[in-house]
Amino acid sequence: MKGAMAAALQLCLCILVVKVAFCKACTSEQFTKSGECCSMCAAGTGLATSCGQEDTKCQPCQDGVSFSDSESLSACRLCARCPPGIPELARCTPTLDTHCDCGEGFFLWRDHNSTSGLCAACSMCGYGSGVVQQCGPQGNTICERCKPGTYSRERSNRKPCVPCSRCSDDEVEIRSCQPDSDTVCMVKDLNILSRPSGSDGPREFPRWPTISEETENRSSPAPGSGSTQIIPQDQGGNNNNNILVYVSVLAAVVLGLLLYVAYKCWKSCQQKQALVKARVGELNNAAEGEKLHSDSGVFLDSHSLQENQPSKGSKRDSKQDTRLYVNLPPHRQEEVEGLLTEGGSRSWRQLAATLGYEQDRVDVFGRGQDPIHTLLTDWAQQEGSTLGLLCSALARIERPDIITALTATSQGVSVV
């Protein structure tokens, strides 16, 4: 009994092998439970019942409602609707979808299960690929990699792959055809490597004739020869062009550096002129103060001068103070820095600009932990950093509270 079952199983396997070997391959690649190849639904029909116990069952697509443009195992697709404002070229049929006039370089795109479409730009085939189906009412561009013997070296949505060139009999192939480049050939008679006639020695590289040889050839041509000697062209033309380009770039760089240096010198001169004007005004005010005190043996401070001349205010008295900021007591400097801190970053940045600092230098101070202390310390190390000049700058940024704190340090009377 067991032997009979084994023999029957072997017979079935042999029949299946013979059927696969000699029959056509199954296009759908699906089989029924009995081993039969599932049939495909033709164009214009769609899947009604899937292949399983029995073969595939198909049904025709409805005209104007659904379509199937190729042989498949899927159901009919719904017909597309043209976007608003786009005219319809052809209505939907059981084998073709709706054709819409999207214009040159565009096609009707839609999701697989959606009926509404959009006009989208056609795709381009890249290097090494050619167009199999051009973009148009039937759909987007279909590209295919160039097969052996063809190539494409441009991006296009119209041109297919073209056949590769073949070298002629007097040429030699130095690079074979690639999908993105044609065959490269070279003439055989170029004699890049030559061997002297009648010699079995090693090959010699060609050389250009020397100046003396050229002179001899020009002065004494071969007897009986009426032909003109061909002189090799100058090979240094490209080098001369490269040298001109390098010289032009170098000249542009040097000119840019000179313009930058001139701009920096001009800015520096402007700052120096502003500082000189401020110092001249300070000296004039100091001269006026000396005239007021020339007839007395008593030196009055700014507070007493303010009481005698209240109409001029503390601004003029502060300009007459020629003491250096660096000589102020540490606690007084801390008080000034604290008042500037209360004014925010705008206050000390305005003071820095009034004292003649450039914006990039102010930004460097601002990146530190204590920009106000850094600013005043740097300014105090400069020549002519007097309290009068500082009070003038504070007056310009409208900080009378700090001016009052500075002038209060000079209260008192000293008798000579």
The answer, yes or no, to whether residue 222 has pLDDT greater than 70, is: no
The answer, yes or no, to whether residue 204 has pLDDT greater than 50, is: no
The answer, yes or no, to whether residue 262 has pLDDT greater than 50, is: yes
Lowest mean pLDDT among 229-233, 320-324, 351-355: 229-233
The answer, yes or no, to whether residue 380 has pLDDT greater than 60, is: yes
The answer, yes or no, to whether residue 194 has pLDDT greater than 70, is: no
The answer, yes or no, to whether residue 108 has pLDDT greater than 90, is: no
Q: Assign 244 a pLDDT band (cuts: 50, 70, 90).
A: confident
Count CA within 13 A, CB hemisphere, residue 76.
26
Residue 282 has a pLDDT of: 55
- Nearest C-alpha neighbor of 372 from the set 405, 407, 332, 333: 333
Count CA within 13 A, CB hemisphere, residue 218.
9
The answer, yes or no, to whether residue 132 has pLDDT greater than 80, is: yes
Lowest mean pLDDT among 36-50, 201-215, 341-355: 201-215
The answer, yes or no, to whether residue 323 has pLDDT greater than 60, is: yes
Residue 129 has a pLDDT of: 94
User: What's the chain's average pLDDT?
Assistant: 75
Where is pLDDT greater, at 394 or 23?
394
Where is pLDDT greater, at 54 or 206?
54
Residue 399 has a pLDDT of: 86
Q: Is 344 left (phi over 0), alpha (psi -120 to 50) or beta?
A: left
Q: For a pLDDT cut of 70, what percent of the chain falls above it?
A: 69
The answer, yes or no, to whether residue 383 has pLDDT greater than 60, is: yes
Lowest mean pLDDT among 88-97, 279-288, 293-302, 323-332: 293-302
**The most confident of 41-50, 193-202, 211-220, 308-317, by mean pLDDT:** 41-50
Spatial distance between the Cα atoms of 26 and 291, rounded to a whole number of angstroms = 120
Cα of 80 vs its chain's centroid, Å:
40
**Taking the model in full, what pTM does it have?**
0.35
The answer, yes or no, to whether residue 333 has pLDDT greater than 60, is: yes
The answer, yes or no, to whether residue 253 has pLDDT greater than 90, is: yes
Residue 339 has a pLDDT of: 86
Residue 234 has a pLDDT of: 47
> For residue 29, what is the enclosing H or E element?
none
**Cβ-based burial of 65 (10 A; exposed 0-12, middle 13-18, buried ≥19):** exposed
Report, as an integer, the average pLDDT of 20-42: 76
The total number of residues written for the chain in this structure: 416
Report, as an integer, the average pLDDT of 5-14: 63
Report, as an integer, the average pLDDT of 280-306: 44
Report, as an integer, the average pLDDT of 183-203: 62
Q: Is the CA virtual torsion 69, 73, 78, 82 positive or negative?
A: negative
The answer, yes or no, to whether residue 16 has pLDDT greater than 70, is: no
Report, as an integer, the average pLDDT of 270-296: 57
Q: Assign 413 a pLDDT band (cuts: 50, 70, 90).
A: very low
Spatial distance between the Cα atoms of 353 and 358, rounded to a whole number of angstroms = 7
Report, as an integer, the average pLDDT of 238-250: 84
Lowest mean pLDDT among 53-57, 253-257, 301-305, 333-337: 301-305
pLDDT tens per residue across span 144-188: 999 999 999 889 888 999 999 999 888 888 899 999 999 999 888
Residue 142 has a pLDDT of: 92
Show the domains of the chain with their CATH numbers.
28-121 (2.10.50.10), 123-185 (2.10.50.10), 283-415 (1.10.533.10)
Residue 249 has a pLDDT of: 93
The answer, yes or no, to whether residue 303 has pLDDT greater than 70, is: no
DSSP labels, 395-411: HHTT-HHHHHHHHGGG-
CB 367 within 8 A of CB 344: no
Where is pLDDT greater, at 225 or 118?
118
Give the C-alpha distances (Å, rounded to integers) separating 363 from 336, 380, 381.
21, 19, 19
